[in-house]
Structure 1
Amino acid sequence: MSERAVAVTGLGLVTPAGGDPDTLWKTLAAGRSVAAPDPDLAGLPVQFSCRVTGLDPAAELGARLARRLDRFAHMGLIAARRAVADAQLQVAASPERVGVILGVGSNSLETYVTEFTRLGQGQPTKVSPLALPRSVPNMVAGEVALDVGAQGPNFTVSSACASGASALGVARELLLSGACDVVLAGGCESARSRMTATCFAQMRALSPQTDRPELACRPFDVARDGFVLGEGAAVLVLERLDHARRRHAGIRAALRGFGASADACHPTAPHPEGAGAEQAIRQALTDARCAAGDVGHVNAHGTATQAGDAAEAAALLRTFGDRSPVVTAPKSIIGHALGAAGAIEAAVTVLSLQRQEVPPTANLVRQSPGRELDLATRRPRPLRFDLAVSTSCGFGGQNAALVFATS
């Protein structure tokens, strides 16, 4: 592997499609969205989402810890524990050399809505003293460090829907600089609060297809009309190659390149031709010291918004030309987990490399003329490839791209 690569030695997952790699992959391979009516969103203009089900924070974390954390932190902490276990990592061996860098897109609106309601009703003494420490974004990184005993660099990255991917890129730089031997990196978010759902519905960013939620999210389809809210977390254990080899760790894949950019174009809309996304991808390829023609697969941001998918398709076509890599868009199946999306999709990219398959994009009927990508549909696409790119874009025009390679 390249001297610029770092090893992926563990995956920890909490997703609407499952909480372990095999279950997640099986759901993705089936090619059908898990979107369904969401009782927490009843009465709102859009009343469905992709929920994480079967998660019992009290059973996994203990009742006391679960009680003082919000849902996004529950998922982040559980994913971190699962990642450490998957990597068979002994943090206590050198805790000061283990960092935690997580991506979180926003505050926990679930807690803030509850507490602001009490304040607005003239009941300040009923506002919980835990309101701040349970909801500010940096606390989930702090809670993970507290839980696993990691004493190295510790903070969150916030770049909207690029947060999880950005966190992985920052973690890689910490490893290459020598500041850490190991970093737990990824993202977590619960995008299902009533306020979040209402805000996105007011912006007309959500698909309104309430009669058939499982058909609502249609990335790159000519009739796409918005995304489906999701939630979840993914934490990857990243290690310096020499450290991973020294402890005989199993290496799932290598993170070889990272690129980031700003559109500097519009507060919420992407550059119409995807110039910023293209810049981030090209930077990541340069960082990985590889050419566009070396890439066999792209895990696309693919939110199913008209402007977003058009911009991303343009960026991919300009970057890769006539030799289009095989593309997939997992949000068609698991929804959009906002700040966690880039980390979850990075984990999916790692699994694709390991399995030498590309999971399908759901609900694609016809692509926009002139912007057709080689999208995997209906069933997993077997593929022999060594390099894959995962892309993420967010409000504020913030873009991130990651290059992964086989181990």
Structure 2
Amino acid sequence: MNTNKISITAFSSISPLGNTTEEVWANYLNENHCFSKQFLDQQETSVAPLSSDSKKIIADVRESDIKYKFLDDSVLFALAASRKAVEQAGWSSDDVFGINIGSSRGATDLFEKHYKEYIDTGKAQTLASPTTTLGNISSWIAHDLQSVGPEISHSITCSTALHALLNGVAWLKSGMADKFLVGGSEAPLTDFTIAQMRALKIYSRIDQDQESWPNLAFDFEKTQNTMILGEGAAVCCLEAGETENAIAYVTGVGYATEVLEHNISISAEATCFQKSMKMALKDEDLESIDAIVMHAPGTIKGDLTELRAIEKVFGTKLPLLTTNKWKIGHTFGASGILSLELALLMMQHDVFIGVPFGEKQDRKKPIKKVLVNAVGFGGNAVSILIEKR
């Protein structure tokens, strides 16, 4: 079997943009952001939560098995997305497929609740440990889908989901598997998580209204950090070779880690991104790359260093550049796979989704090849090149 290309045969997500492909695309076509106010960390805070319709779906998932009542939202989000993706791909419990769903924080809300109860009472609940381990996301998906293949969970901070995709590609190219379900899930809208981001001085303090845009991801001249957290999950089905039901192909993967200058920073010209992009683009004519979906979290340094890295790799002839964090916020470990969703949709519809307050870019050709970037604390970058079928 020719495994030079890896087929993406299905994709599913649940996020502030919605829970169906049609709803997600409709929301990308408008210029409204998904932020609202919640009382977190003892004050009103801009966040991007799931829609009320999506929350009903999660409630239904929780009620679908008595054991699911004790699970964290990060697991339930991933269950909802995985069920739909596997159905779309036509996989059944008779198929042997691998699972790699990662998360930066894992069972954040549940862990905080269990820990508070322990502090208050001096006792831990029986299920406190098994329901808050990072591995319980992929384990419960395997249970739900009755899968018997390998299942992996990991955290590589904000590049977690694209590292899951890297893992899936590696298994498929090695011949150790023919199919892999990969993605990321995050439910970080909790008091302690918000407090941690505020302590880092990176959380947005801009008032939430349409004129001011509370998250200024892709504004390279901003004078304050504007990161906002969102929640959600997304997964895709990967299959070795070129399949008839492919919606796109993975044609290049790249990764790199750089020496830490600071716990949360990357170098001034994002050396890790330069290396990951060059690896993913190894055999490509740079002028054939039509667009890049940037990581661009909305911080001053994070956005600018990635732009500098892209300029170093592509020179003066830049592809179209965009990001989705101005709209849905930063979903930590799920962010890379949600960026991949935007790339897939732009290719499918041949429509470029730019940033409304960004500089207008001149589009000259169809969107057939898109590069997707992600990076996390620790300078661990991933770049994935996808190509239209």
Query: Which category of TM-score, normalised to the shorter sequence, fits these structures?
Result: over 0.9
Name the residue aligned to 2:278: 282
Report whether the alignment pairs 1:150 with 2:147: yes
AA paired with 1:21? Answer: T
AA paired with 1:81? Answer: R
State which of 131, 136, 140 in structure 1 corresponds to 2:133: 136
- How does the TM-score come out when normalised to structure 2? 0.93
Give secondary structure in 2 for the equivalent of 1:358: coil
Report whether the alignment pairs 1:175 with 2:172: yes
Give secondary structure in 1 for the equivalent of 2:281: helix
Name the residue aligned to 2:254: 259
- Identity, % of aligned positions: 21
Q: What is the deviation of 1:363?
A: 3.8
Equivalent pair of 2:180/2:238 in contact (CA under 8 Å): yes
Q: What is the deviation of 1:122?
A: 3.6
Give secondary structure in 2 for the equivalent of 1:80: helix
State how 1:2-401 maps to structure 2 within 5 Å. Answer: 3-39=3-39, 41=40, 43-44=42-43, 47-53=45-51, 54=53, 55-56=55-56, 57-61=58-62, 62=64, 64-92=66-94, 94-95=95-96, 98-124=97-123, 127-212=124-209, 215-221=213-219, 222-223=221-222, 225-241=225-241, 244-245=243-244, 250-266=245-261, 267-286=263-282, 289-364=283-358, 383-401=365-383
When residues 306 and 333 of structure 1 are mapped into structure 2, their CA distance, relative to the original with a 3 A threshold, is same
Equivalent pair of 1:13/1:79 in contact (CA under 8 Å): yes
AA paired with 1:78? Answer: A
Give secondary structure in 1 for the equivalent of 2:184: strand
Q: Distance in 2 between matches of 1:197 and 1:352?
A: 32
Q: What is the deviation of 1:83?
A: 0.5
Q: Distance in 2 between matches of 1:351 and 1:177?
A: 29
Equivalent pair of 2:36/2:48 in contact (CA under 8 Å): yes
Q: Distance in 1 between matches of 2:2 and 2:354?
A: 30
Q: What is the deviation of 1:133?
A: 1.7
Q: What is the deviation of 1:382?
A: 8.6
- After superposition, give the CA deviation of every residue in 1:300-319 in whole Å (9 maximum; x if it has no partner): 10111001011100011111
Q: Distance in 2 between matches of 1:375 and 1:265?
A: 34
Unaligned runs of 5+ in 2: none
Moved more, 317-326 or 229-238: 317-326
Q: Distance in 2 between matches of 1:149 and 1:170?
A: 21
Aligned positions, number: 381
Equivalent pair of 2:99/2:150 in contact (CA under 8 Å): yes
AA paired with 1:132? Answer: S
Equivalent pair of 2:184/2:233 in contact (CA under 8 Å): yes
Equivalent pair of 2:162/2:374 in contact (CA under 8 Å): yes
Q: Distance in 2 between matches of 1:63 and 1:148?
A: 13
Q: What is the deviation of 1:138?
A: 1.2
- Output the aligned Cα RMSD: 2.0
Give secondary structure in 1 for the equivalent of 2:153: strand
Q: Distance in 2 between matches of 1:269 and 1:402?
A: 21
Q: Distance in 2 between matches of 1:334 and 1:211?
A: 13
AA paired with 1:220? Answer: F
Q: Distance in 1 between matches of 2:361 and 2:308?
A: 14
Equivalent pair of 2:218/2:355 in contact (CA under 8 Å): no
Q: Distance in 2 between matches of 1:2 and 1:178?
A: 11
Equivalent pair of 2:293/2:373 in contact (CA under 8 Å): yes
Equivalent pair of 1:50/1:229 in contact (CA under 8 Å): yes
- After superposition, give the CA deviation of every residue in 1:79-127 in whole Å (9 maximum; x if it has no partner): 10011122122241x32xx000112112322122212222222431xx2
Equivalent pair of 1:7/1:254 in contact (CA under 8 Å): yes
Q: What is the deviation of 1:239?
A: 0.5
Unaligned runs of 5+ in 1: 367-373
Moved more, 265-274 or 170-179: 265-274
AA paired with 2:376? Answer: G
Equivalent pair of 1:257/1:285 in contact (CA under 8 Å): yes
Q: What is the deviation of 1:197?
A: 0.5
Q: What is the deviation of 1:347?
A: 1.7
When residues 197 and 120 of structure 1 are mapped into structure 2, their CA distance, relative to the original with a 3 A threshold, is same
